[in-house]
């Protein structure tokens, strides 16, 4: 993953109005089927992670995790842990930047295995 290119694309998506940041706003975009891609920071809380994993898995939306701090720094809002990106060319470019070989982990994986939130 080329973090410099990814940061540029995320910043562009934010300025273009194609990126919605924040857990509740991103979850609303997912539930309304207005998101093509959801990005999680590595430091996202387990409860938020579970909500988004379940919603994205149900709707078939790609959910990817970024290294800690990359998302907030790229969009100029440190501390942001979740972002939803609307369908279009920018979401495709971001997806291909994160997964250059096309190796995408499906959102249906249980990333909470072994935690008390696993239900």
Domain ranges of the chain: 3-98
Ramachandran sector of residue 37 (left: φ over 0; alpha: ψ -120 to 50; beta: rest) = beta
Question: What 3 state SS string does 49-66 have?
Answer: HHHHHHHHHHHCCEEEEE
What are 69-87's pLDDT values in tens digits? 889 998 999 889 999 999 9
What are 33-80's pLDDT values in tens digits? 999 999 999 999 999 999 999 999 999 999 999 888 889 998 999 889
Residue 107 main-chain phi, psi, to 5 deg:
-70, -10
3-98: CATH topology is: 60s Ribosomal Protein L30; Chain: A; (3.30.1330)
Q: Looking at the whole model, is its pTM more than 0.85?
A: no
């Amino acid at each position: 993953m080329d973090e410099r290119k990814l940061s540029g694309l995320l910043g562009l998506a934010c300025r273009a109005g194609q990126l919605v940041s924040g857990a509740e706003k991103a979850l609303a975009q997912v539930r309304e089927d207005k998101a093509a891609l959801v990005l999680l920071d590595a430091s996202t809380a387990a409860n938020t992670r579970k909500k988004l994993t379940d919603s994205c898995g149900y709707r078939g939306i790609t959910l990817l995790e970024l290294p800690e701090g990359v998302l907030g720094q790229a969009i100029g809002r440190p501390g942001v842990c979740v972002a939803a990106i609307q369908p279009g060319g920018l979401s495709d470019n971001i997806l291909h930047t994160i997964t250059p070989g096309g190796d995408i982990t499906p959102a249906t994986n249980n990333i909470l295995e072994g935690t008390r939130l696993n239900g």
